[in-house]
Chain A
């Protein structure tokens, strides 16, 4: 493990920002700290950096406990939310700052800054001040500035929050590529699950100062371990009293379950393809249809609960009030803090993936 947090606790007055946080990150990985706002993810990042001190527990970097090592000496590059570029310095001076305070020779500074300016593609803008740059350009400067002293670990606090949606996607790809190119272990904080899923190798989900789950995006998506994760990741509707669905006899009445749109198949009764699955399906009525750009989102009333499903625009059109067959492939059953996956028992032996 390259970076380790060992039983970290941190309180701000009555507010518990970190409760027994414990995880390890391997060298070279790009990890996302994901959680809703106020969950304590930024505090965790700042404790790794040394900008905040934990009340108890150890921060370990490269096998060394760094609790007493000041922020500037931990060999960490930090990209701040809103970038915190030095307003009264040019792009060049911003990037050179970390080298200058280390008393690096002029020649070397010139070489390194030039290299970084090229890396982030800001040639010709060295003499500009931060307020003469666009959001994306500022992020590039912040990235180059953090990398200038050749840190071993890069921390990014909401790196895309200050950028408008259009450019954000582009910058995500850019940042991912850059980090891969430099090959630096990186941790970034985000509240946007799409961002975490797309960019990170691994995701750590934080809620109310607690670590909920750590794993690859696919793992977290497919096997949420806690009820929080199952609700937070993906679009999901929570059903408070789930009962009487075919194929889910094992689930007790009035249980709480989570159904994601991708768990649901909706088809008309004359559909040839799903004919064999008719016995496993329920009947429902469409109560709402909304157009989502590239697909339709259907809300159906089934057995007294409303279920959301997606429908491709390529399929036959449907209308409000139409009776449809609704097949549930699987659901997450929520029990206290656990989320357990249940499959439709009537689909045993059916090759669902071939459908």
Chain B
């Protein structure tokens, strides 16, 4: 009996959520029209143009552009950078938001501000900063070389894939933690304290008590982080100069377009369509996550 009532309440809540008056009268219709027009001109037409241009010369050319060696290499680098950036930032984002919301310590506000640096610093500057630190003249280069000597490896941090990964990590750093912090803050610490009082260890508290609260926010943060990671241009541009080796998809698009020939421009659009496709996938995922997250609240 009780259960039925609960179900009904949920249903009525949903209805309430969808309620809203239909636009009547001149002003609302005009505003709506302007909004839609703006949306079409600024977002839909340009993206449709990308798809149209990429397919203009026929599927064969499209396929060739996608399967070109440089494109595949760029796709690979993009995916590597995205996956590593997402993993690293998920881990550190979780740590940072856990620390910032569940504990009290000195310098908490400073840490909270530091997390946001990538939002305020232009990506190009971030890339250049890496160049200054790890480049040929950078102060960190001798240390990197020493580590390389010691490990018998040959890792270079600029003009290489690791550099691209680092730059991507820098730019996408705040996404996960910024999604998590409000959720964790709203949840408070009472449940964690209850778990601690019952004798649970830190890891158990996180797995059993904190995680169920934040899982949708976490997934949402990861999706945003991924979207930003594979679209990044500026920061990566500063540390990646070798086409076919360290170029990511956005850099490849730029290079093709800058080549200027009719053929390469078509190729640029074909490669762009790959990014558009990835964006659409992300958009759909984001919608699903948002919907499911809301339903559980």
Contacts and interface: CB of A to CB of B under 8 A. Distances in A.
Contacts of A88: 212-213
A101 B201 contact: yes
A2 B6 CA distance: 45
Given A101-B204, A132-B6, A71 B194 contact: no
Contact of A132 (B2, B193, B204): B2
14 contacts: A49-B197, A70-B196, A72-B198, A78-B193, A78-B194, A80-B194, A85-B191, A86-B191, A86-B194, A87-B213, A97-B200, A98-B198, A132-B3, A146-B198
A71 B196 CA distance: 7
B209 interface: yes
Given A77-B197, A84-B194, A146-B197, 4 more contacts: A87-B213, A89-B208, A98-B199, A101-B200
Contacts of A82: 190
A101 B194 contact: no
Nearest to B209: A86
Interface in A137-156: 145-146, 148-149
A107 interface: no
Interface in A74-99: 76-78, 80, 82, 84-89, 97-98
A102 interface: yes
A72 B196 contact: yes
A97 B212 contact: no
Contacts of B208: 86, 89, 97
A79 to B, nearest CB: 9
Nearest to A129: B6
A349 B6 CA distance: 68
A85 B191 CA distance: 6
B195 A97 contact: yes
A80 B190 contact: yes
Contacts of B190: 80, 82, 84
Given A86-B208, A87-B191, A101 B213 contact: no
A102 to B, nearest CB: 6
B193 A51 contact: yes
Nearest to B190: A84
**Contact size class for B?**
10 to 19
B166 to A, nearest CB: 37
Contacts of B6: 132
A71 B198 CA distance: 8
Main secondary structure of the interface of B (DSSP, over half): helix
Closest 9 CB pairs of A and B: A98-B198, A84-B190, A88-B212, A72-B199, A78-B197, A84-B194, A101-B200, A84-B191, A101-B199
Contacts of A315: none
Interface in B185-232: 190-191, 193-201, 204, 208-209, 212-213
Contacts of B191: 84-87
A51 B199 contact: no
A316 interface: no
A66 to B, nearest CB: 14
Nearest to B198: A98
A76 B190 CA distance: 16
Interface residues of A, number: 27
Interface string A243-274: 00000000000000000000000000000000
B199 A73 contact: yes
Interface in B72-121: none
A97 B193 CA distance: 13
A60 to B, nearest CB: 19
Interface string B41-59: 0000000000000000000
B199 A102 contact: yes
B4 to A, nearest CB: 11
Contacts of A76: 197
Contacts of A73: 199
Contacts of A51: 193, 196-197
A80 B193 contact: yes
A68 B2 CA distance: 46
Contacts of B195: 86, 97, 101
Interface string A26-64: 000000000000000000000001010000000000000
Contacts of A98: 198-199
Given A86-B209, A101-B204, A149 B199 contact: yes
Interface string B1-29: 01100100000000000000000000000
A77 B190 CA distance: 14
A84 B213 CA distance: 13
A68 B202 CA distance: 17
B11 to A, nearest CB: 15
A86 to B, nearest CB: 6
Nearest to B197: A78
A145 B198 contact: yes
Nearest to B188: A84
Nearest to A78: B197
B103 to A, nearest CB: 13
Contacts of B2: 128, 132
Contact of B197 (A72, A85, A89, A132): A72
A97 B209 CA distance: 10
Contacts of A102: 199
Contacts of A78: 193-194, 197
Interface centre among B196, B198, B201, B213 (most CB of A within 10 A): B198
A80 B194 CA distance: 7
A101 B196 CA distance: 10
Given A86-B209, A132-B6, A149 B194 contact: no
Interface centre among B3, B201, B208 (most CB of A within 10 A): B208
Contacts of A128: 2
A73 B197 CA distance: 8
Contacts of A148: 198
B270 to A, nearest CB: 46
Nearest to B193: A51
Contact of B200 (A72, A132, A145, A146): A72
